[in-house]
Amino acid sequence: MSKLRFKKMLVRLLLVALVLAAGMAWLARRTPPSPFDAEAAGDPRTAAPSAELIRRGEYLARLSDCVACHSTPQSKPFAGGLKMATPMGAIFATNITPDQATGIGRYSLADFDRAVRLGVAADGHRLYPAMPYPSYAKLGDDDLRALYAFFMHGVSPVPQPNQASEIPWPLNMRWPLALWNTVFTESGSYQPKAPAKAGVNADLWNRGAYIVQGPGHCGSCHTPRGLAMNEQALSESSPLFLSGALLDGWYAPSLRGDGATGLGRWREDEVVQFLKVGRNAHAVVFGSMADAFNNSTQFMTDDDLRAIAYYLKSLPGDAGTTATALSERPASSDSAANASAVKTFAAKCAACHGASGAGQAPWIPPLAGATSSVVPLARASAINVTLNGSARVVAAGVPDAYRMPAFRDQLSDQEIADVLSYVRGAWGNQGGAVKQEDVKTLREETNPARSDVIVLQMR
């Protein structure tokens, strides 16, 4: 190749690189359009909306569980400060009260829309997808307007500065999130569709789908994530949607029709009961789901809970899974470690969960056939709740009387590994063994001084 020809090729490559760089810069810096751009900006707090619109927005904030992430037990509601771990470092939830200096008091409706549904703050910086805007993108315009009315007129302003993230440079640069959004999010609010099966109540199904996929953002925890920390599915169009995922030391189980690993054994009314009172014959809320119950699902209307259950029960499961029936089959191993685990179980667990692992529903959940006992990845939840106990469940303002105690200071890593291996191999369970290293890792990563989860009042 001649020098002249090489120079021409090099120039072409540089031009292409410059065009690509310019395109990426435009994408990263541009302000995405909002359907509310044409509305007058003004002071967002001067034009008071109707009381009915504010009440509707408050309910939508409950559906969306905004208070759980944007508050701490020590702070005022929506003032931010909650520390959230990411693979790159910790970030902190922001102040979303209408304080004009430190919150969102200067946000127009269009600014609010871009932050909630597109992940772009009013000053143009991109939000981390710990803010579940890939789900909130499905919120309808009327619901978005009601949310805005509530946050501007139904929430008290709190002057609390936001905390900078602990993500180091250059990983803390936000512009790549514009590319991430292009690849991993879907634009447009939820549009009703015809259910795949005949004879389905389309209105009820679509209402459930809207809540689950949109404000409820159930997929944020229950859908597996890819290498880029993206949810691998955002709707029922993929069998991965709500198929179970490991997140922050807890396993969020499948919400599909799988047998022992999902909702295959649950009746529709049992799903409603679980979301409304935090427990049923199969399970009691714990881990991250305790937050969702304490601050969100118990406040939903019966009609919305029924719609959620109706939609979830329409999702097919993995044909290869079957419901695990309770049995008296002992654990498979007769080793010395197993014998020691049997003694530990009898001393620490059997009084509540029963010698046969059947539990005492609805107050104490069964261990036989439970997700944490039959799913390999769910060993994280089993270890976590054994180490740290369960969070306080507050139903209708009344704290629960039955809670899983913490065994962090009572049992060694090996003892916990042995007893959980026993539980996950007894009574028909097939969850697999737990290793001492697994317990040690979670012991170090979880806070030994866990605070009880409290119900955060929104006003």
Domain 336-445 fold is: Cytochrome Bc1 Complex; Chain D, domain 2 (1.10.760)
Strands (E), 260-339: none
Question: pLDDT value at position 321?
Answer: 52
Q: What mean pLDDT value characterizes the chain?
A: 87
| Cα 156 to Cα 82, 126, 228, distances in angstroms | 18, 26, 37
More confident residue, 392 or 334: 392
Question: pLDDT value at position 357?
Answer: 92
Yes or no: say if 183 and 276 are a contact pair by the CB < 8 Å rule. Answer: no
Beta-strand relationship, 250-252 and 398-399? unpaired
More confident residue, 382 or 261: 382
Whose CA is closest to 77, among 149, 151, 131?
Answer: 151
Mean pLDDT calculated for residue range 151-164: 96
Phi, psi for 21 (deg, rounded to 5): -65, -40
Question: pLDDT value at position 333?
Answer: 46
- The answer to which of 13-17, 116-120, 427-431 has the lowest mean pLDDT is 13-17
Question: pLDDT value at position 30?
Answer: 63
Question: pLDDT value at position 183?
Answer: 93
Instruction: Give residue 287's region: left, alpha or beta (phi > 0; psi -120 to 50).
Output: left
Question: pLDDT value at position 42?
Answer: 63
| Confidence grade of residue 454 (pLDDT, cut at 50, 70, 90) | very low
User: Quick check: 332 pLDDT over 80?
Assistant: no
- The answer to which of 113-127, 326-340, 402-416 has the lowest mean pLDDT is 326-340
Q: Copy the structure tokens of residue 343.
A: 């003694």
User: Quick check: 318 pLDDT over 70?
Assistant: yes
User: Quick check: 450 pLDDT over 50?
Assistant: no
The amino acid sitting at 60 is L
Question: pLDDT value at position 197?
Answer: 83
Determine the number of helices (DSSP H) and then strands (DSSP E) in the chain: 18, 6
- The answer to which of 43-57, 106-120, 195-209, 359-373 has the lowest mean pLDDT is 43-57
More confident residue, 428 or 324: 428
Task: Tell me the range of 172-181, 206-215, 311-320 where mean pLDDT is highest.
Answer: 206-215
| Confidence grade of residue 175 (pLDDT, cut at 50, 70, 90) | confident
Q: Copy the structure tokens of residue 39.
A: 């509305």
Q: How much of the chain exceeds pLDDT 70, in percent?
A: 85
- The answer to which of 26-30, 166-170, 225-229 has the lowest mean pLDDT is 26-30
Question: pLDDT value at position 451?
Answer: 44
Beta-strand relationship, 245-247 and 83-84? unpaired
Question: pLDDT value at position 31?
Answer: 78
Q: Copy the structure tokens of residue 164.
A: 């900078």
User: Quick check: 18 pLDDT over 90?
Assistant: no
Q: Cite the residue boundaries of each domain of the chain with CATH code 1.10.760.10.
A: 336-445
- The answer to which of 156-165, 204-213, 266-275, 325-334 has the lowest mean pLDDT is 325-334
User: Quick check: 7 pLDDT over 80?
Assistant: no
For domain 42-157, the CATH class is mainly alpha
User: Quick check: 23 pLDDT over 60?
Assistant: no
Mean pLDDT calculated for residue range 33-61: 85
Residue 194 DSSP SS3: coil
Question: pLDDT value at position 456?
Answer: 45
Yes or no: say if 303 and 318 are a contact pair by the CB < 8 Å rule. Answer: no
Cα separation of 182 and 187, whole Å? Answer: 9
User: Quick check: 425 pLDDT over 80?
Assistant: yes
